[in-house]
Structures are given as structure tokens and as C-alpha cells.
Amino acid sequence: MSNLSPEADRQPPPTHVAIIMDGNGRWAKARGLPRVAGHQRGVDALRGVVEAGQEMEIDFLTLYAFSSENWKRPPTEVDDLMGLLRLYLRREMRELHRNGVRIRFIGEWQELAPDIVKLIEDAERTTAENKGLTLIIAVNYGSHREIVEASRRIAAAVAQGAMNLADIDEANFARHLHTDGIPDPDLVIRTSGEQRLSNFLLWQAGYAELVFMDVLWPDFTKKSLEQAVEEFHRRERRYGASTS
């Protein structure tokens, strides 16, 4: 039996939910703790949301873990975040694999430290054939750069004669993005009360429903996810069409 509230239980969940996990630093500051404590609690929230996504039968869950702009943070904080990524992959991989989760990373993750790159490659390879929830982790990701790089690849293909100008359409362009093969998100959630996308899935979220929640990421729970899905179901999705 589903644990969703009656309102959410009436309709199937969105196929793809994407989350901007924001508020770790503010959570820690409010408690007089170092920022790394907020990030550590954020990893606990991540674990809970992945479990909730599986229970709710969401097919794709994308989490914005580290943006290309996050390199501007103090080096000690960046080191802490990279350390938590290592720890997450080492500790959670076996359980995720056992639960049938398929893991995929988007972003310029090949530019990370070699040991992290290997952990990512191992995670993707080990879970590639799993049929459950697809967990997409955006690391060293920025949508502007993604779009520019896709444009460059298409321009190079045209210059080399491998593609004609007439072949360039929205579907073809999307195949050159990091998210090739992944459906566009139906719902984008941002925690902490901020109301912006922060260079996250700008192309893919063109028709997504945006839900901004005041809860800080370390306090985000399954109930928070259910509330966002309930709000999603209250929206009228028209994709640019008129209601009349």
C-alpha cells in the first residue's frame, strides 16, 4: 500500500524529478556548526530522498550535487564536498546496486580527481543494467557550459560533413547534451526558499513545473517530497497551449 497522502495517491508520480539541494550552510550556521556539518547532514537527506523516490516509483531522480560555480567556494569547503562525494560512492554503492538503482553522472566529472573519476566510472558500470530508479548526480555541472559544448560538437560535425544544417532541430540538439537518453524533468524542486535555477538544466527544464520550498536541504524528508509532488499534481500543464 502506498504511503502517499490521498491527494498524491490519486495520480502517478512525475516520471522525472530534479532537485536543487540548497541550504546546507544555512542549516549549519543556524546551529553554530561548521559548514561541513551541514553538508554531512545533507548526505543523510540525500539517502532518504533516494529511498523515498524508490518507494514512490519515480523513474528518474536528478540531484544537483556540485555546480561548476562551486569551485569559487573556499578550498577547504570544496575539499570537504569532494570528500563527501568519495564517501557517498564508497558507502552507498553496494546498497544502491542491491536495490536496483541505476547511477548516472552528468557534468564535467572527468575533470575531477582521478580517484573520484574511477569511483564514478565503477558506479556507472556496476549499475548500468539495473532496472529500478535511475539516480542522476550532477557534479561539476553547469547548464551554460553544457549548451555551449553541445553547440560546439554540432558545429564540428557540420564542418566535417557528418551533419547537415537541416539536421539540426531540438531533438538532435538534445542528443548532444549530458542528459541524452534521459527524459526532461517534469518537476524541479529547490529547497531553502531561494527561487532561481542557478544554471541547472536550463534547456531540459523548459516545461518543468518549478516548486520552491522553504525547508533547508538537511531537513528535507520523504514528506517534503510528497508535498512537492502534491503541488505538481495541482498544476495545469499546458506546454504553451491555451486552455480555451
> Rounded to whole angstroms, how far apart are CA atoms 181 and 141?
17
**Active-site residue, from 70, 99, 130, 199:** 70
Residue 72 neighbours by CB under 8 Å, 6+ apart: none
Q: Is 22 one of the annotated active-site residues of the chain?
A: yes
The number of beta carbons lying within 10 Å of the beta carbon of residue 117 is: 14
What the block records as the C-alpha cell of 77 is 569547503
- Beta carbons of 182 and 133 less than 8 angstroms apart: no
Q: 103 has which bridge partners? A: 135
Q: Is 70 one of the annotated active-site residues of the chain?
A: yes
Helices (H), the chain: 6-9, 24-30, 35-55, 75-98, 114-127, 143-159, 170-174, 222-234
| SS3 call for 165 | helix
**Active-site residue, from 22, 24, 140, 186:** 22
Which sequence positions are flagged as catalytic? 22, 70
